[in-house]
Amino acid sequence: MEEIELKEINLSALQKLQSQGTTSTIYTDGDMCYKFLDGLYPYEKRDLYRKFLAMDGIQINDVLLPQKLIIEDGELKGYTMEYFANSMPLSDKFLTRYFNCKDLFIYVERASKILRTIHSNGIVCQDLSFENILVDDKGNVKFCDMDSCTYRDYNSPFFSILFKQFLIDYRGSWIYEKEDVDKVSMILSFYLTMYGEPLQIITKKQYHTLSDHIQTLENLRNTANMLVDKSSPIKDIPYLDEVIDLKDDYEIDREKILSIHPRIFTKFK
């Protein structure tokens, strides 16, 4: 993988992006993005450098993988990647009171198919949420923040906060199929976007306010019940493109859903 020295980059010509990572700072020159790993420890940068070298040559459509590694005094400082212009995180795209589920489902189905390709290349995103899936108004979808992925024997300590709150804080369990980490993460982000609440605190009444009108939620009901049942093993998790029904066409009022006060938690029967 090609390397460039930090001193070769004209930092004063770069513009800081609005969306930022928790352990990095991202800039653009209009053509490329420059991601600086200023929140990682030196040993984490060394491990990441070796992982990037192992991943050299992998190219996946609609996945913003590293193109050049930024080096200073022999140490990894960051990397460059393609700039996806006029885009925003999928989580922000539908951060509104009203939206049509069909608009969301088109993006999510495309993202799910990209995830299948990522997995077929032996990569698990691991720190996956709708915050690191970028979309534009033309329906294009791209995965970003791939430095937190797992590849071969190169593991990552990073998971999304939503995943951690569900799996560790709520269920107190673990997932043994690596690909299922990504599939569950996407499902959790999907429910958070639909209902404005994490899956584990959505009530039966809240669930029915949408599932009575949206077939996709009916298709996901058994999976949702399995996930919220702490005694049930996590298995047979679908990719979202397997369950999304693009014939769904329903206007969602998130404020109306959130106005339904939680009661005793039950399965979504």
pTM of this structure: 0.93
Residue 13 to residues 20, 27, 39, 190, 205: CA-CA distances in angstroms? 18, 10, 22, 37, 53
Q: pLDDT, tens digit, for every residue of 155-209?
A: 888 899 999 999 999 999 989 899 999 999 999 999 999 999 999 999 999 999 9
pLDDT at 157: 83
Does residue 259 carry a pLDDT above 90? no
- Percent of the chain, pLDDT > 70? 96
Does residue 265 carry a pLDDT above 50? no
Segment 63-81 shows an average pLDDT of 96
Range scoring the smallest mean pLDDT among 19-28, 63-72, 203-212: 19-28
Sheet containing 25-28: give its strands across. Answer: 3-5, 68-72, 75-82, 32-36, 25-28, 15-16
Q: pLDDT, tens digit, for every residue of 101-112?
A: 999 999 999 999
